[in-house]
Amino acid sequence: MPSSPNLRIALITGAGSGIGRAVAQALAEAGWQLALLGRREAALRETAASLATPEALVLPADVTDEAQVSHAFAQLEARFCRLDLLFNNAGVSSRKVSVDELSVAEWRAVVDTNLTGSFLCARAAFALMKRQQPRGGRIVNNGSISAHVPRPFSAPYTATKHAITGLTRSLGLDGRAHDIAVGQIDIGNAATSMATPMQQGILQANGQIAVEPTVDVAEVARAVVYMASLPLGANVPFMTVMATAMPYIGRG
């Protein structure tokens, strides 16, 4: 169905839980119409049921699979005719062990999801944003504090998040000619299920185990909504949202 000229369309990857679900809820409250992409259809439908806007488009897909990503974006275009925001959020981590104990398969699983998945979704969004009328849109990549500094035993995750920064910069440069704005949000200790280890005690750079503070995931979602709300002539290239007292600012 053709979209209303005043309707803003957002696609969120990893939308079935955590940060993805919180951002979906915040965008819905701000009046966005949503497409929810992720591997678990049941979780996506739970997110859709929690939204304040009309029924969201549920897109079960694996971001590592080129054909599945292409099919999902074709469904999006058929439903809404355009895309105004892609939140590249899907991501995984690996076992917390020394790099010599990681298999190549474990390395590739993280790279395929965090980096190649973000590339595949950005590529599809870029193509649609270039040809739609009016043209243009925004891509927000979920980086991480790990895009700046690593935690112990996190080589695959940290490497991909550093690479996301390069992807953000490159897409931002290439998007200028097409009214496509690209930014990145780097998140530290958002209070989701993934942050449970921080609340129980997590390994620090000096070898100690320490409990770390967390920040309400709703604050992260508010930040993404702000980035998304800007006119395409303005952009937040990089934003860091973190628990104020987490040990990131300082020496480990």
What's the CA gap between 98 and 101, in Å, rounded?
A: 5
Closest listed residue to residue 56, CA positions, set 14, 15, 6, 18: 15
With beta carbons less than 8 A apart as the criterion, state whether 34 and 80 touch.
Answer: no
Which residues, in sequence order, are CB contacts of 5 under 8 Å at separation 6+?
A: none
* Torsion (CA) 63, 129, 187, 68 in degrees, nearest 10: -10
**Which positions are catalytic?**
157
Task: Give 162's DSSP letter.
Answer: H
Ramachandran sector of residue 82 (left: φ over 0; alpha: ψ -120 to 50; beta: rest): beta
Which tokens in the block code for residue 134?
A: 């009016």
Instruction: List, edge to edge, every strand of the sheet that includes 137-142.
Output: 57-60, 33-38, 9-13, 85-88, 137-142, 180-188, 238-242
